[in-house]
Amino acid sequence: MKTTRRNFILTAASGSLGALATTAQAAKPSGKQSGVIVIPERKVPVLAEADVVVCGGGTAGISAACCAARHGAKVVLLERWPSLGGMATNALVNIWHTSDRKKQVIRGFVQEAVDRGGRFVRRMAHFPTKPETHEFDSTGMRVVFDRMTKDAGVRVFCGLTAVESIVEDGRLRAVLVDTKTGRKAVCGKIFVDATGDGDVAANAGLLFDFGRVSDGGVQGMTMMFRLRDIAPAVIKAHPEDAKRVFALMKKLRDEGRFPQFLEAAALSYLSSPRDPVVSYNMCPVAGNPLHEEELTRLTAQAREQVYRYVDLWREQMPGFEEAEVEQLGFSLGIRESRRIRGLKTLDARMVVKAVKQPDAIGHGFWMIDIHDPKGTGHTTWVDQKREMMPPVGESYHIPLGICLNAKLPNLAVVGRCASTTHEGLASVRLQSHCMVMGQGVGTCAALALNAGADMAKFDVRRLQAQLRKDGVYLEDVP
Ligand SMILES: Cc1cc2nc3c(=O)[nH]c(=O)nc-3n(C[C@H](O)[C@H](O)[C@H](O)COP(=O)(O)OP(=O)(O)OC[C@H]3O[C@@H](n4cnc5c(N)ncnc54)[C@H](O)[C@@H]3O)c2cc1C
């Protein structure tokens, strides 16, 4: 591809590629809107050009970038945080699920990540009879993701944020990124939005849904944390104390004197740690992850909650006397925000009925796992006693159509911002499922470019054949 440098002109006058109208909302300290700032025309230097530009370096984006590069595309990966991995590394969400409770149905890039992970990944003993399959060390996986992208030939930029999408003649031409040295442009032929929040697609004007139908609430967020210096043998010798402390936590919480916590997990965390260092997924908060001030407040609140749990346990629970917080998530764990409307929408029926799709790019099987948007720590679908997941030994297809859209043929979305209902997302948001999307879309982008076709027009049978060759589990395609 040609690498001549171009300049983009930002102007308040028109909406074309070379001249973009843009306004910025400013807020008074009180939070009231105080109008707009008109940005004067200015030149924006081009930072990079590529065949495929992947925005967002979480598990979905890493997978998309590596797979596109391996099929010959020149790939740029843009990430706002200092390290790759998204929720997997920076929010300490350290588990991958690959089994339909009888056999492994997610392989391909996910299996590669497991294999490359080496000593940082621990396969669970009950595999494959339970879906929980692999735990990993989030710190070590940062290095593994660096190595994987480097070996695939992906050009990675961390520390910049995609803030605007430049659309011209029905195609996305560039994303503008904010860097330490000002705003710059990254141009490409195909773009993959893997930001989790669908920033690029929303900025490009694609329609999206947000939250559940009843009240617009998105799934609760969670601050993951790790404790060290726990004494598992002492804890196991005091099962009655675990029950007593659990009851005390519930009582104090119900009296408003203790924060919310994930009940389903708390008792087992208190009673049966396997190791002296344990990861905890039990600290819920509720709110809008796209609202900066709210997110800042909730993140601080969650950090505070973690220390409230730990202080109580140190005081009350034998075996926790020396426990100390080893790590807190760098970010709150975010489960849901924008869901970009696509050619297809994955819903609860498709999940629990294990529906097969002609444009399948891989399999999914996880349950409809909805963390209460009110932040109580309950999982709401279970509360309603509905069918939760495909039958044992069955899985559903993840269709390419949930990643493509009707408006911009050179933009795809992967990961938790794909086209789903609130309920469908509660299954397909899993990292292993997000990586399946990444592999399908990254491969599709490279093959479509080689063929001179748009992704939606590319022969899906050829794509499926390539994915199988690359180790993807893909069965029962109608
Ligand atoms: C507490 C918690 C527990 C979970 N438990 C599990 C579990 O047990 N197993 C499991 O598999 N999944 C679990 N999940 C779900 C899973 O972690 C996420 O759904 C998954 O990581 C989403 O991957 P992603 O790549 O789509 O998005 P993310 O991991 O969110 O990655 C998005 C990346 O894009 C970057 N980014 C965002 N905006 C921009 C921008 N404008 N410009 C540049 N970069 C940007 C972000 O910094 C981030 O690195 C859990 C989630 C949470 C929060």
43 lies in the same domain as 190 = yes
* Percent of the chain topping pLDDT 90: 82
> Which ligand 1 atom is nearest residue 222's CA?
1
User: Residue 102 falls within a domain, yes or no?
Assistant: no
For ligand 1, say whether the CB of 430 is within 6 Å of any of its atoms. yes
Residues 187 and 67 in one domain: yes
Cα 434 to averaged position of ligand 1 atoms, centre (Å): 9
Average pLDDT over residues 122-149: 92
Domain boundary at 303, 328, 353, which? Answer: 328
Same domain, 389 and 274: no
273 pocket-lining for ligand 1 (C-beta < 6 Å): no
Examine the pLDDT at 26 and tell me if it is beyond 90.
no
Report the distance separating Cα 332 and Cα 299, nearest Å.
6
Distance 237 CA to ligand 1 centre (A): 37
| Nearest-CA residue for atom 27 of ligand 1 | 196
- Say which CATH number the domain at 29 has: 3.50.50.60
What confidence category does residue 234 fall into, taking pLDDT thresholds of 50, 70 and 90?
A: very high
Ligand 1 in reach of 92 Cβ (< 6 A)? no
Q: Is the CB of 157 under 6 A from ligand 1?
A: no
- For ligand 1, atom 3: residue with the closest CA: 93
pLDDT value at 83 more than 70: yes
Instruction: Pick from 53, 66, 76, 93 the residue to mutate for probing ligand 1's pocket: most ligand atoms within 8 Å of its CB.
Output: 93
194 lines ligand 1 (CB under 6 A): yes
Where does the pLDDT of residue 350 fall: very low under 50, low under 70, confident under 90, or very high at 90 and above?
very high
The answer to whether residue 274 is domain-embedded is: yes
The answer to whether residues 303 and 328 touch, using CB atoms and an 8 Å cutoff, is: yes
Query: Residues 316, 350: one domain?
Result: no
Q: Are residues 341 and 455 in the same domain?
A: yes
Do 24 and 46 have their domain in common?
A: yes
Domain that holds residue 342: 1-92+107-112+137-215+335-478
Q: Is residue 98 part of a domain?
A: no
Would residue 24 count as lying in a domain?
yes
Q: Is a pLDDT exceeding 80 seen at residue 6?
A: no
- Does 148 map to a domain? yes
How do 208-210 and 324-328 pair as beta strands?
unpaired
- pLDDT of 303-336, one tens digit each? 999 999 999 999 999 999 999 999 999 999 999 9
Q: Mind listing the pLDDT tens digit for each residue in 426-451?
A: 999 999 999 999 999 999 999 999 99
Distance, first Cα to last Cα, the chain: 37
Percent of the chain whose pLDDT exceeds 70:
92
* Total Cβ atoms within 10 A of residue 374: 14
Is the CB of 331 inside a 6 Å radius of any atom of ligand 1? Answer: no
Residue 461 lies in a domain: yes
pTM of the shown model: 0.94
Number of domains in the chain: 2
Q: Which residues contact 424 (CB under 8 A, 6 or more apart)?
A: 345, 346, 347, 348, 350, 351, 368
> What is the pLDDT, as a whole number, of residue 39?
84
Q: What is the mean pLDDT of residues 384-401?
A: 91
Same domain, 347 and 304: no
Ligand 1 in contact with 51 (CB < 6 A)? no
Q: Which of 328, 351, 376 is the last residue of a domain?
A: 328
SS3 242: helix
Ligand 1 pocket check for 222: Cβ under 6 Å: yes
The CB of 289 under 6 Å from ligand 1? The reply is no
344 lines ligand 1 (CB under 6 A): no
Question: Can you state the angle between helices 59-70 and 108-117, rounded to 10 degrees?
Answer: 100
pLDDT for 272: 82
pLDDT in tens, 180-202: 999 999 999 999 999 999 999 99
Query: Could you tell me if 411 and 437 lie in one domain?
Result: yes
Ligand 1: residue whose CA is nearest its atom 37: 195
C-alpha–C-alpha distance, residues 381 and 368, integer Å: 7
Give the domain-ending residue among 284, 311, 328.
328
One domain, residues 142 and 241: no
Residue 124 in any domain: the answer is no
Q: Are residues 412 and 307 in the same domain?
A: no
CB 182 within 8 A of CB 190: no
Residue 23 has pLDDT above 60, yes or no: no
Establish if 207 belongs to a structural domain: yes
Please state whether beta strands 411-413 and 182-193 pair in parallel, antiparallel, or not at all (unpaired): parallel
The verdict on 88 and 6 lying in the same domain is yes
Does the C-beta of 281 come closer than 6 Å to ligand 1? yes
Same domain assignment for residues 3 and 60: yes
